[in-house]
């Protein structure tokens, strides 16, 4: 059902790619197009999620910087920064048994809820103030 040409070079590499394509997207044109469109949609959704997460953590960084600059005389400022700075990154997750960690695209929900309970009103009024 398909015209297949494996370019010169490693035949088995080309053949393996062909089998992967068929198993991933199917052999019929309509099935393949549907699978390709579905993959593109999922990729766009993931790209949108990454963009939204990046904006959210950047906004948190900007807010914390703004807050620090506007509360320099607050003696609890170092504690504030130490406690809430992890919200500027993803949640730290242990993925490997050897102790390695990675950040996932999620802010710590418990810490975020606590932050919003204490500073949410200021955070929502904060409008990308230039912190330079």
What is the pLDDT of the chain when averaged over all its residues? 85
Percent of the chain with pLDDT over 90: 45
Q: Which of 34 and 104 is assigned the larger pLDDT? A: 34
Contact by Cβ (8 Å): 58, 128: no
Reduced to 3 states (helix: H, G, I; strand: E, B; else coil), residue 128 is coil
Say if pTM beats, i.e. exceeds, 0.75: no
Give just the sign of the alpha carbon dihedral 109, 112, 114, 116: negative
Reduced to 3 states (helix: H, G, I; strand: E, B; else coil), residue 101 is strand
Chain CA centroid to CA 60, Å: 15
Reduced to 3 states (helix: H, G, I; strand: E, B; else coil), residue 126 is coil
* Amino acid 1: pLDDT: 60
Question: Model confidence over 36-89: pLDDT tens digits?
Answer: 899 899 999 999 998 999 999 999 999 999 999 999 999 999 999 999 999 998
């Amino acid at each position: 059902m398909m015209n297949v040409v494996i370019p010169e070079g490693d035949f088995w590499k080309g053949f393996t790619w062909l089998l992967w394509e068929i198993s991933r997207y199917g052999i019929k044109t309509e099935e393949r197009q549907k699978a390709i469109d579905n993959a593109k949609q999922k990729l766009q959704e993931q790209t949108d999620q990454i963009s939204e997460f990046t904006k959210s953590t950047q906004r948190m960084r900007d807010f914390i910087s703004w807050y620090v600059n506007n509360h320099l005389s607050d003696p609890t400022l170092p504690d504030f920064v130490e406690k809430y700075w992890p919200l500027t990154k993803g949640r730290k997750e242990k993925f490997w048994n050897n102790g390695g960690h990675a950040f996932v695209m999620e802010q710590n929900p418990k810490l975020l809820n606590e932050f919003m309970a204490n500073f949410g009103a200021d955070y929502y009024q904060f409008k990308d103030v230039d912190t330079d």
